[in-house]
Chain A
């Protein structure tokens, strides 16, 4: 046991105390009303009634069904497609371009993308306007159930399109942790086809690092609210939306249903994660022999090149849908009047930009401030954690795995627990401590959700970093601190800046935590966007959604530009 080990444990425990304890308290604050205990509305009896009420509510069954199918389908599709893209495109000419372009895709907030995508594909959307009346023959939009369909297919599609870039980012990090090119060379020389080699040798090594992101995406898809309101089914809505409706129902007795529903959702998430975990184990047993069965002869070089073309096509399709969604947002934000079936607005106006600009300084400032502080703190905590973790890994052999695995789970917990299942409790906790509506509380609440993403994006490069550089520097400079800054941080500046940008954009997109914690005292661009979107004026929704995109874009731009400016003369690093 070394001093660093103790430091590591100490920091982990602090992180746990800061982030895990409130979540547990929040969960408790939700479970009590779920069991019928909410004295503020006169409910004091512990009973199963709220849970039974949820189960017997007419909408619950099909709501849960639509939620399950969309979340499972979206997660599975996004995961499989992202892995297929890696397999097909790794080491191709487009790979480095893909790696660099993920940032922009990630900078587009889910909400902005969903609004833009709906503008694109709805029966009165831009695509139909371009086709009408000439090609389609429609003078008025057709009565087609494209978005808000009962099977949640449009919601699923948008989730797939938004989660593929996230999985790609995680895969890039995972690929970076070992020498894939060499692995593939060795496999090829032994007669493995590329896809066999990828599945048997590369994917199997990548998966442990993709497991938690996979779980996080599943949990997110099961509990997403804002996207479901825009694209999901309406009668009934998805389960998370239904829970939200109960929480905001005028009849306060529905708060108990909301709490019970939120607890059920958590159980559902836990159950599904357990199923997936079991499924993984099952697969690893079933395919154990196949994994070591050696190469199989298949004449598939033609098919392989076809697949590669398809993979490129998929990436291009994701890009085009994102760019078109942004473009149609831009057009709507500059619209004064745009009726079906005109291809472009009949009256243009800068009014909505001017209006939003006049109103938004405060919200933009708050968003930037909270995003900046929480991203900064997250990066600092994660760097400290990873630095000690990497030193522990070096010094302590056997126990390293367990402690870092535990830490990983602790950090990931906020990503795995649905937000609706503990935010209500957190609100009560903060109010009773008199801490609601304060900047510090809001930063802290954002930090809970920012930290895991920050860790995710930095862990690989940090743990892979060869600490011998640092030892040499310490010997030369005689200063640990100086060497740490001058060598390790400088060498890793690019990924740190990138991780900062991701953290920032995660903070920007937080809706429910801001709503519950800020108590109306601190408004952000996202709370304003959602509030205005409830009124249904497309022009205003569009301009606000774009504001929600500019801020992360700016930070991503800076994260790419600044390292290039500062470290131009140190290209060798």
Chain B
């Protein structure tokens, strides 16, 4: 009873934030463009955008993006081909292993006083890395308001397109895709999937060693810890506020008690952890794990389609909802091909690029666009997308939980390390 009450107060808090965001954005929209209503077409035809297109022509955009997935790399190659033929912009993907390395390089360039002709034109980013870049003034001037297709983004119903892990986006990065934490499980071994953190524990009692998560500070590992905290903390309203050091150990005690119970039941008894979500998918395929996690609701379907996972894999989410966020592309302060980067970012948000990205056979990354802002034909192309064989419907995916305030991450990681990685 008390749990339900608290849950509703928790979601009320976030709903409150959501409404606030909507109000703020409406207010901003009404003040900024009080004269004729802007549409993608009017921006696209404006002299400013035409000027951008003209300067972009012939530029080479070095797009620094995580390169661990061939599926995604292939999509980026397709997008690069499109902007080459449509706008004469060359896009080269720099495959990075960790976006933190990109931040390091920008720091080095900043240290050296290189304020222009930098080596990075566009970077795939979100969350803490975005916050770092924003805090250290490593980003170019706000730019997404200049992009025609930005008007199609569903900023009203997808608050994480405006607040990236609770950091205000401020038009500094263009939304690219949506993510929601989902679990993948092997129906060949598990009949009834867990519904929440507690039932994950009881499922593992029957299947010892068949679940794990990457060790924090790995992105997916930290996300799992945050999900567990949201489900287990007594007062969920604390999470939307900055972490209070004095109270930290008291309020997070249920989380550590839970992990102390979970780890002995995990893969390698919690003494070793997979290096990434990619490796976990691998372990799921090899039968070492029966349950894995992903931030792409279509991951399982896509992996089944290319024989990376068996057909017995299905997806589930926890009944109280799971963490959701948005990933973006940002232009660094010293980018060489700023116009080219804008043109490419705009293309990535176009209905054509977004529908292809959302297709489970291609990538399966959910769109950032608002259906009601699209034309009939565009809407149809989205609604005609096949639902992947292991993909949940929007209803089944259920509630999206917002990320805790950014300050929780460091505190949680530090505590996790001192408990489990000593």
Contact = CB atoms under 8 A, between A and B. Distances in A.
Contact of A245 (B73, B136, B217): B217
Interface in B106-160: 107-114, 119-120, 127-129, 131-132, 135-136
A537 B278 contact: yes
Nearest to A519: B119
A145 B288 CA distance: 12
Contacts of A538: 282
B422 interface: yes
A2 interface: no
Contacts of B288: 123-124, 140-141, 143, 340
Given A235-B215, A236-B422, A427-B105, A537 B282 contact: yes
A536 B68 contact: yes
A143 B275 contact: no
Contacts of B53: none
Interface in A418-435: 424, 427-428, 431-432, 434
B132 A530 contact: no
A252 B132 contact: yes
A61 interface: yes
Contact of A427 (B67, B108, B215, B285): B108
Nearest to B109: A431
A476 interface: no
Given A59-B422, A336-B307, A520-B94, A124 B283 contact: yes
Contacts of A530: 97
A255 B107 contact: yes
Interface stretch (A36-44, A79-87, A107-115, A498-506): A36-44
Contact of A62 (B119, B217, B307, B422): B422
B410 A431 contact: no
16 contacts: A41-B136, A58-B418, A235-B420, A250-B99, A252-B135, A339-B310, A355-B70, A431-B108, A432-B112, A432-B114, A434-B114, A531-B66, A534-B275, A535-B278, A536-B276, A536-B280
A252 B107 CA distance: 9
Interface of B: 62, 64, 66-70, 73, 94-101, 103-105, 107-114, 119-120, 127-129, 131-132, 135-136, 189, 208-210, 215, 217, 267-269, 271-283, 285-288, 307-308, 310, 410, 414, 417-418, 420-422
Given A40-B136, A124-B286, A532 B420 contact: no
A229 interface: yes
B215 A234 contact: yes
Contacts of A519: 105, 119
B276 A234 contact: no
A425 B70 CA distance: 32
B384 to A, nearest CB: 27
Contacts of B100: 247-250
A292 B400 CA distance: 80
B376 to A, nearest CB: 37
A249 B410 CA distance: 11
A523 interface: yes
Interface string A355-373: 1000100000000000000
A100 interface: no
Given A248-B100, A534-B68, A58 B422 contact: yes
A434 B108 CA distance: 12
Contact of A143 (B104, B105, B267): B267
B97 A531 contact: yes
Given A234-B273, A339-B285, A536 B422 contact: no
Contact of A235 (B98, B273, B280): B273
A257 B215 CA distance: 19
B164 to A, nearest CB: 12
Given A355-B70, A534-B66, A236 B95 contact: no
A250 B422 contact: no
Nearest to B77: A359
A112 B104 CA distance: 27
Contacts of A252: 103, 107, 132, 135-136
Interface in A74-123: 123
Interface residues of A, number: 64
A233 interface: yes
Contact of A59 (B94, B97, B275, B421): B421
A145 B272 contact: yes
Contact of A432 (B113, B189, B280): B113
A413 interface: no
A432 B112 CA distance: 4
A249 B94 contact: no
Of B135, B209, B288, most A-chain CB atoms within 10 Å: B288
Given A248-B101, A534-B278, A537-B70, A40 B215 contact: no
Interface string A418-460: 0000001001100110101100000000000000000000000
A143 B209 contact: yes
Given A143-B288, A534-B68, A537-B70, A347 B272 contact: no
Contacts of A171: none
B208 A532 contact: no
Contact of B421 (A124, A149, A235): A235
A231 to B, nearest CB: 11
A540 B70 contact: yes
A251 B108 contact: no
Nearest to A356: B70
A148 interface: yes
Contacts of B128: 250-251
Contacts of A41: 107, 136
Contacts of B103: 248, 250, 252
Contact of A347 (B119, B135, B208, B307): B307
A150 interface: yes
Contacts of B107: 38, 40-41, 252, 255
B84 to A, nearest CB: 16
A251 B167 CA distance: 14
Contacts of A521: 62, 94, 119
B287 A340 contact: yes
A37 to B, nearest CB: 10
Interface in A210-260: 229, 233-236, 245, 247-252, 255
